[in-house]
Chain A
Amino acid sequence: MLEGTDDWAGLESMVRQHSRFVYKVAYGVLRNPHDAEDVVQEVFLRVHRSGTEGVLDMQAWLARIAFRLAIDRVRKPQGVEIEGLEMQSGGANAEQLAIHRQRVDHVQRLIAALPGELRYPLVLSVLEELSSRQIAEVLGISESSVRGRISLARQILKEKLSALLEKKP
């Protein structure tokens, strides 16, 4: 395994194997491709400096580094003005796709507006590479807390979306 700074082949293999996953973790926090890529580079720089001696779960370890670096980059929460959104009512079949697309955009904004302790478990849960145990390790909370927070986040999103839809004529 990669140990220290001399194992260039090991680092190269690790970058090829995990860089996209690390990118997704960073993007889940930052929602910005350029910032996410910067985080990926920083992650592997740190790996190169410190080595991987003693690391048991490589994916969880990389995800934790990426998550923390991404959190450090978040200057302030990206607030979303939900009140200004307007939902179109369903109409002809030709318009169904556009309406769905609009709702998806709206939920994405709602997700971005969630507090971090709810948003991060929800976002990380969609990454197939991470189990709930690994998410718990990344976030530093218990596995049951991860499941509870994901459930709560979904509940909040559902209520907000329903409220928005009910406002429509």
Chain B
Amino acid sequence: MKHNDEFDKVLHDALAEYREAEPLTGLEQRVLRRVRSHVDRRQKLLWRWSAPTAAAAALAIVVWIGITARARHELAPAAVAQKGPAAAEPQRKPPESTAKHYAALNSETVVKTARSRQPHVPASSQVVSLQREPMREQFPTPAPLTSDERTLLALVQMHPAALQELPADDTDNEIAIAPIAIKPLVETADSQGEN
């Protein structure tokens, strides 16, 4: 029993090394300082890498925009051609024979645009015709007058007063709609009897 007590005391004292182990003064400050320095170092590293990364990203965006703009510029004539011949080749000079032909047409007094008289043509066929037809001198290209238009023009030149007698175009006038009046239902004696 005495031997056991003596052993327990020795063991207790031996384990005191672990139980009473104390760090050097200022452990908390040293720990916090190390964590702080680690955070600072990591932030510096982050900044060091973020600047080149941002620059590279900006450069990539600029290059991408440049490529996109260039591709759009190259595709533009074809896209415009689908919209109509007027915008496709505005700067090209027409061949002389064609210019003469249209000059003859222009000698006539034509006020209305040719586009309104042209029949509807699908876009694909317009592209094809654009590629074949040369540049015209005047846009929209005037078309030859129809026989009705020639007759009307001749009439106006001969009798200018007749123009005044023509009925006014009232398509711009507002359409007057009478207010809708719904009469109340009147229950008749027959309908009541049915119910």
**Residues of A that sit less than 8 Å from B by CB:** 5, 11-12, 15-16, 19-20, 23-24, 27-28, 31, 33, 36-37, 40-41, 44-45, 48, 100, 103-105, 107-108, 111, 122-123, 126-128, 154, 157-158, 161-162
Residue of B nearest to A153 (CB): B11
What residue of chain A has the Cβ atom nearest to residue B42's Cβ? A5
| Min CB gap A14→B, angstroms | 10
Residues on A with beta carbons closer than 8 Å to the beta carbon of B19: 24, 126-128
CB of B24 within 8 A of chain A?
yes
Q: Please provide the 10 A-B residue pairs with the shortest distance between their CB atoms, ordered closest to farther.
A: A107-B14, A27-B21, A126-B19, A104-B13, A126-B15, A23-B23, A108-B14, A28-B18, A41-B34, A103-B10
- Is B23's CB under 8 angstroms from A100's CB? no
- Docked-complex contact B35 and A45, CB < 8 angstroms: yes
Known: A161-B7, A162-B3. A104 touches B31 (CB 8 A): no
Is A108 touching B35 in the complex (CB atoms < 8 A)?
A: no
Select A24's contact among B18, B28, B30, beta carbons within 8 Å. B18
CB distance from B67 to the nearest CB of A (A): 40
CB pair B14–A48 under 8 Å, yes or no, is: no
B residues 19-67 with Cβ under 8 Å of A? 19, 21-24, 27-28, 30-32, 34-35, 38-39
Contact A100 B30 (CB under 8 A): no
Q: Are A104 and B10 CB-contacts (below 8 A) given A23-B27, A36-B21, A111-B15?
A: yes
Contacts of A158 in B (CB 8 A): 4, 7, 11
CB pair A40–B31 under 8 Å, yes or no, is: yes
Q: Within the complex, which residue of B4, B10, B16, B32 is in contact with A100, where a contact is CB–CB below 8 Å?
A: B10
A44 & B21 in contact (Cβ 8 Å cutoff): no
B17 proximal to A (CB < 8 A): yes
Contacts of B7 in A (CB 8 A): 157-158, 161-162
B115 to chain A, nearest CB (A): 68
Find B23's partner among A19, A44, A103, A123 (CB 8 Å cutoff): A19
Cβ distance B66 to chain A, nearest Cβ, rounded Å: 40
Are B11 and A19 in contact, with the CB atoms below 8 A?
no
| A104:B14 contact, CB within 8 angstroms | yes
Could you list some 30 contacts between A and B, CB below 8 A? Answer: A12-B32, A15-B28, A19-B28, A20-B23, A20-B27, A23-B21, A23-B22, A28-B21, A33-B21, A33-B24, A36-B21, A36-B23, A37-B23, A41-B34, A44-B32, A45-B35, A45-B38, A48-B35, A48-B38, A100-B13, A103-B10, A105-B14, A107-B10, A111-B14, A111-B15, A126-B18, A154-B11, A157-B11, A158-B7, A162-B3
